[in-house]
Amino acid sequence: MKNPIYHNTFFLDSQSYGYVLVPANLNIPPSLGSLVGIGYSRLPNCERLHQRLQVSWEVFGGYLTIQLAGLIDEDEYMAFGYSGSNNASTMIGADVAIAWWDGLGKVEDYYITAKAPCSTIGTVKGGVCTDAMLGGINDVQALETKRENGLTIISYQRPLKTTDVSFDRMIVPEELIYIVWAIGPLDTQRQPSKHSLYSRSDRSLRFSRPNEKNCDKFDTGVVRNRPTPWPGIKLSGENSRSFVAQIGPSGGAKGYEGLTGFHSWGLAW
């Protein structure tokens, strides 16, 4: 696109002083006024997982220190941890820490056995459960938390080797591991619901790599509009006494969640 610069003298004549070519599909950076950085992170490694989530870490003295920094609301959580598979980023079997803001930063040790909220069927408990709910130990400890300008920063620590062999992965810093991450809503009990953002492709890292920071400042100007829900269906009529209920996809923010204000794990009826 050619943008000429003109000079007018009493509107009688005009003269071009040159032009510039503006490429199509130009990648224009965000306004500097909307950028915020992690600021006080002292950890030597950092990776950007999403435009709304970054992870920093350091291995020292038998412990792994991790800092999660995310553009999340106070009714959202951010999660990061070991994949349930040695060959891909998978949710089932993952050993993760889930962090959120509740007046102060909170973080808990979770083990994921199913894509469902933590519940008990018969005598078996499963789903997205804390290690403690499954009979294990919470091996993550919050160190430092902060929230400002919509950015939540939570640092925590866990041993490389824990005594919770059932629900914790032992960390060998030299190994290349697959990781998982997610951002999602908290339910009314402040428990994690189905994620809205997550690792859609395989992602791996090595905790003992040479120190490297691959993180940029966050853009707080990113607009996160919620979609307009589909119109609800009202059942009426004196003769309408028999109904058929079918379970199926919840429709996300345009369906069950948008109509009721409650979060769903993907199925509704």
CA distance linking residue 108 with residue 24, whole number of Å: 47
List CB contacts of 181: < 8 A, sequence separation 6 or more: 49, 50, 53, 55, 78, 79, 80, 81, 198, 199, 203
Closest to 181 (Cα-Cα) out of 69, 265, 43: 69
Residues in contact with 180: Cβ distance below 8 Å, sequence separation at least 6, in sequence order: 79, 80, 81, 82, 83, 84, 89, 90, 91, 94, 96, 198, 199, 203
Question: Residue holding tokens 């079918």?
Answer: 246
pLDDT surpasses 80 at 201: yes
- pLDDT over 70, % of the chain: 78
Which pLDDT value is given to residue 228? Answer: 81
Q: Average pLDDT for residues 217-238, to the nearest whole number?
A: 74
pLDDT tens digits along 77-117: 999 999 999 999 999 999 999 999 999 999 999 999 998 88
Q: Out of 35-39, 70-74, 90-94, pick the least confident.
A: 35-39
Query: What's the whole-number mean pLDDT along residues 53-64?
Result: 96
pLDDT > 80? residue 1: no
Question: Strands 128-130 and 45-50, how do they pair?
Answer: unpaired
Minimum mean pLDDT range among 42-46, 107-111, 158-162, 222-226: 222-226
**Residue 37 confidence class, pLDDT cut points 50, 70, 90:** low
Residue scoring higher pLDDT (115 or 229): 115
Q: Note the pTM of the prediction, 2 decimals.
A: 0.76
Residue 265 has pLDDT above 80, yes or no: no
**Residue 97 DSSP SS3:** strand
For tokens 């269906």, name the residue. 233
* Single-letter code of the amino acid located at 38: I
Mean pLDDT of 16-27: 59
pLDDT, mean of residues 168-184: 96
- Residue 67: pLDDT above 60? yes
Average pLDDT of the chain is: 83
Decide: helix, strand or coil at residue 48: strand
Closest to 267 (Cα-Cα) out of 245, 242, 239, 238: 245
Query: Which of residues 3 and 10 earns the better pLDDT score?
Result: 3
User: Is residue 149 pLDDT above 80, yes or no?
Assistant: yes
Q: Work out the widest C-alpha separation in the chain, in whole angstroms.
A: 90
Q: Which amino acid is it at 230? A: W
Give residue 32's pLDDT band: very low, low, confident or very high (50, 70, 90): very low
128-142, 208-222, 233-247, range with greatest mean pLDDT: 128-142
Say what the pLDDT of residue 113 is: 95
Say what the pLDDT of residue 65 is: 97
Q: Tell me, what's the pLDDT at 225?
A: 63
Would you say residue 7 has pLDDT above 70? no
